[in-house]
């Protein structure tokens, strides 16, 4: 329904009774947006213009907005919300503890101990999150394989596995195949090692600036 809200940053609250939040005014309407302390620290000063990528949460007793300063974190938040046992609070806690890229890296590595650093995320929930997220981000390609032929022709030093995993994650985050391939080709020119984590790191940085 709402992709982003662009307007005047009226206030930002690092940790109130409802957690971290910002109020953004657009066309005379003030939007209360739940966010993370990480986003608060990156936000500009009150009174400046800001763009917040949003996700609308429907509950029986309320409708809530969650928002992030970059599209990738918002899209990862939406995927997190589809994991059983993960609600809005846990998803925000995870994206407060980890940047979107770092969270994806932890999932790809299967490092549930690292994931359980987040407050309120125990080892069992961390393992469940990793299993379900990895399936949603990567393993769907087994039934719907991605085409890396035109990427591979220009990136002979990067393995098929790294390219395929990187493209699968980017498409899962909502990027088109054309956008994903363009970002991966760019990433391969600056990647320091042959791994999907490294390719994704560079690709997401490229997409954030595009």
**Number of separate domains in the chain:** 3
**What is the pLDDT, as a whole number, of residue 175?**
84
Q: In this structure, are 96 and 59 located in the same domain?
A: no
Contact 94, 77 (CB under 8 A): no
Environment class of 196 (CB within 10 Å of its CB; exposed 0-12, middle 13-18, buried 19+): buried
Of 19, 52, 68, the last residue of a domain is 68
Q: In this structure, are 76 and 64 located in the same domain?
A: no
Q: How far apart are CA 128 and CA 59, in angstroms?
A: 23
Output DSSP code: residue 192.
S
**What is the pLDDT, as a whole number, of residue 137?**
79
DSSP lists the bridge partners of residue 4 as 53
pLDDT tens string 65-82: 999 998 889 988 998 998
Whether the pLDDT of residue 200 is over 60: the answer is yes
Tokens 């500009």 correspond to: 44
Question: Could you tell me the CATH number of the domain that includes residue 24?
Answer: 2.40.50.140
HSE-CB at 151 with a 13 A cutoff on CA atoms is 27
Of 68, 89, 104, the last residue of a domain is 68
Output DSSP code: residue 174.
T
Question: Could you tell me the CATH number of the domain that includes residue 168?
Answer: 1.10.8.10
pLDDT tens string 175-197: 888 888 888 888 887 776 778 88
- What is the extent of the structural domain holding 8? 4-68
Of 120, 137, 154, the last residue of a domain is 137
Tokens 């393992």 correspond to: 127
pTM of the predicted protein model: 0.78
DSSP per-residue letters across 49-73: EEEEEEEEEE-SS-EEEEEESSHHH
Q: In this structure, are 112 and 168 located in the same domain?
A: no
Helix or strand or coil: residue 99? coil
Q: In this structure, are 61 and 76 located in the same domain?
A: no
Pairing of strands 29-34, 19-26: antiparallel
Q: How far apart are CA 194 and CA 162, in angstroms?
A: 7
Q: In this structure, are 90 and 113 located in the same domain?
A: yes
Q: In this structure, are 57 and 18 located in the same domain?
A: yes
202's tokens: 């560079």
Q: In this structure, are 79 and 126 located in the same domain?
A: yes
């Amino acid at each position: 329904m709402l992709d982003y809200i662009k307007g005047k940053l009226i206030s930002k609250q690092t940790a109130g009774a409802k957690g971290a939040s910002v109020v953004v005014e657009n066309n005379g309407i003030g939007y209360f947006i739940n966010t993370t302390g990480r986003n608060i620290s990156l936000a500009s000063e009150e009174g400046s213009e800001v763009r917040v990528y949003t996700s609308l949460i429907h509950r029986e007793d309320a409708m809530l907005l969650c928002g992030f300063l970059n599209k990738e974190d918002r899209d990862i938040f939406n995927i997190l919300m589809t994991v059983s046992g993960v609600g809005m609070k846990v998803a925000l806690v995870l994206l407060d503890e980890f940047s979107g890229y770092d969270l994806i890296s932890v999932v790809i590595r299967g490092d549930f101990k690292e994931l359980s650093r987040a407050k309120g995320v125990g080892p069992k929930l961390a393992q469940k999150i990793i299993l379900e997220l990895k399936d949603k981000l990567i393993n769907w390609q087994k039934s719907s394989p991605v085409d890396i032929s035109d990427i591979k022709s220009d990136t002979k030093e990067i393995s098929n596995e790294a390219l395929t995993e990187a493209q699968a994650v980017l498409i899962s985050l909502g990027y088109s195949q054309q956008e994903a391939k363009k970002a991966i080709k760019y990433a391969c020119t600056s990647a320091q090692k042959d791994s999907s984590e490294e390719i994704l790191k560079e690709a997401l940085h490229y997409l954030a600036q595009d």
